[in-house]
Amino acid sequence: MKKKINVKMLVIFGVLLVVIILGVVGVGAVRTFMSGASSAVEPQGVTAVSSADGKSATVSWTAGKESTSSVFYGTTAASLVLTAIETNSTTDHNVSLTSLRPATTYYFKIVAGGETFDNGGIPYSFKTNGSSEDISGVTPTLVPTDTVLPLSETPGNTAGTCDPKIDYNGDGVVNSFDLVECRENGGTMSSNTVTPTTTTNSTCNNLTDLNNDGVINSVDRIKCLQSQKI
């Protein structure tokens, strides 16, 4: 006895099979579309050319679809904090990176069509031209320095004679160091600023320039006391 074929079950099975086939084809189509969208703006032939002085560079690439793009860059792969933005939509991209340091390795990634591209999971990289010692174009910081005028140009100094009232070393204080500075630069002590190194004043109150430094101060009193053995 022959079994009857259940036509209804066959129909249902056929419909399910068609739905499954269409579903697989649909997912594949979506994947193909998305893949096509990604590949259309994906950078091809990425290059980075440094300027001769190493202070700028141009990142170039082509793509199958027009888009605007940005390049994020920095001196470490983990810190791409600088940005160069492309304003025109194009398939031939040339983005200028500025304010670079000579002889320095830079890392970068490209953002185009809302997608981020790099070199297989790591940032692209290049090294700028020039020398690390190249500081051309950099304004030096001026540090004030003390200036000692030549004896012929020092106010109050005549015929190379050191004046004990002039601040020769420019420190804002007139003392024995100024006379030392003057003498080291060829100056001489005048006869009226140097007095004998001995004294007969036992009280050491009315001092003279006992140590011949051109200034009467506590050092002279100490010398006086020492000479009198007080």
pLDDT at position 108: 97
pLDDT at position 173: 75
Range of the domain at 77: 44-127
* pLDDT tens for each residue of 124-170: 999 999 886 654 544 444 444 444 444 444 444 444 777 777 877 77
Closest CA to 52 of 104, 134, 130, 125: 130
Max mean pLDDT among 6-15, 165-174, 220-229 falls in 165-174
Max mean pLDDT among 22-36, 88-102, 119-133 falls in 88-102
CATH code, 54: 2.60.40.10
Q: Please report whether residue 118 resides in a domain.
A: yes
Residue 225, pLDDT above cutoff 90: no
Rounded mean pLDDT of 116-122? Answer: 91
Question: Which residues are CB-neighbours of 166 under 8 A, at least 6 positions away?
Answer: 154, 155, 156, 157, 174, 178, 182
Closest CA to 178 of 150, 214, 152: 214
- Hey, which bits of 51-89 come out as E strands? 57-67, 69-74, 82-85
Question: Which residues are CB-neighbours of 58 under 8 A, at least 6 positions away?
Answer: 48, 49, 94, 95, 96, 97
Task: Report residue 183 as tokens.
Answer: 């003498």
**What average pLDDT is seen over the chain?**
74
Rounded mean pLDDT of 79-88? Answer: 92
Residue 68: Cβ within 10 Å count: 15
* pLDDT tens for each residue of 182-201: 777 777 766 554 444 444 44
pLDDT at position 62: 95
Q: Please report whether residue 171 resides in a domain.
A: no
Q: Please report whether residue 180 resides in a domain.
A: no
How many independent structural domains does the chain possess? 1
Residue 61, pLDDT above cutoff 80: yes
Q: Please report whether residue 200 resides in a domain.
A: no
Q: Please report whether residue 135 resides in a domain.
A: no
Q: Please report whether residue 100 resides in a domain.
A: yes
Q: Please report whether residue 99 resides in a domain.
A: yes
pLDDT at position 107: 97
pLDDT at position 157: 44
Q: Which comes out higher in pLDDT, residue 199 or 50?
A: 50
Residue 57, pLDDT above cutoff 90: yes
Q: Please report whether residue 101 resides in a domain.
A: yes
What is the C-alpha to C-alpha distance for residues 137 and 51, in angstroms, rounded to an integer? 15
The single residue listed with the structure tokens 């340091």 is 101
pLDDT at position 112: 92
Residue 80, pLDDT above cutoff 60: yes
pLDDT at position 205: 58
Per-residue pLDDT band for 114 (boundaries 50, 70, 90) equals confident
